[in-house]
């Protein structure tokens, strides 16, 4: 589960934000279908006598709380990434989004600021990895391993067209 947190940081590059592993468990991003699966699984366990209904209710409540907390963290980290991109490039978020949707890469948009963008994004990602260590989501060893990959992953994402968009953007890239 901890590797999923790191993968979210490192592979989303421009999205490059951490999501709690509990979010993936509690919600699959498909309109609550994952939540339905958890409820179904828990109902089965209650029927078999493995857990009580109050335990199942507590698990559902904890999953909802974890999802809400994960969304707050996701939004905070996303905003930090957006701020790094816009401040480094000196271009509005709307302009960046528009150009990405038109098929440009962040590398093309950055032009001669590409190296500065990669450095700034890598620094932000490493900061987020450090925060994950402080929060107990990663060990120091895991953080060291992932930090060693950050610049390469950020570079690949900055040079890639699409693939780092928002839900609802239908595959459009996002700044």
The backbone torsions φ and ψ at residue 165, rounded to the nearest 5 degrees and listed phi first, read -95, 180
- Of 33, 92, 38, 88, the C-alpha closest to 63 is 38
Q: pLDDT at residue 32 above 80?
A: no
Average pLDDT of the chain is: 79
- Alpha carbon distance 22, 72 (integer Å): 13
pTM exceeding the 0.85 threshold for the entire prediction: no
CA 98 to chain centroid, in Å, comes to 21
Is residue 81 pLDDT above 60, yes or no?
yes
The confidence score (pLDDT) of residue 33 equals 56
Average pLDDT of the segment spanning 4-25: 36
Instruction: Calculate what percentage of the chain has a pLDDT beyond 90.
Output: 62
Q: Among residues of the chain, what percentage have pLDDT more than 70?
A: 73
CA distance 104 to 65: 38
């Amino acid at each position: 589960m901890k590797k999923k947190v790191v993968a979210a940081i490192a592979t989303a590059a421009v999205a490059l934000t951490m999501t709690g592993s509990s979010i993936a468990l509690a919600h699959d991003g498909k309109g609550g279908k994952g939540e339905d699966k958890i409820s179904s699984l828990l109902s089965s366990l209650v029927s078999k006598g493995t857990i009580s209904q109050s335990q199942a209710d507590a698990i559902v409540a904890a999953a909802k709380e974890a999802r809400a907390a994960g969304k707050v963290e996701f939004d905070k980290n996303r905003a930090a990434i957006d701020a790094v991109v816009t401040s480094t490039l000196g271009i509005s978020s709307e302009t960046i989004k528009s150009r990405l949707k038109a098929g440009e890469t962040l590398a093309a948009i950055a032009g001669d600021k590409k190296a500065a963008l990669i450095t700034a994004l890598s620094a932000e990602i490493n900061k987020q990895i450090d925060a994950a260590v402080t929060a107990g989501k990663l060990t120091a060893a895991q953080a060291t391993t992932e930090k060693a990959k950050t610049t390469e992953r950020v570079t690949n994402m900055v040079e890639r067209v699409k693939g780092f968009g928002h839900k609802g953007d239908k595959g459009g890239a996002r700044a």
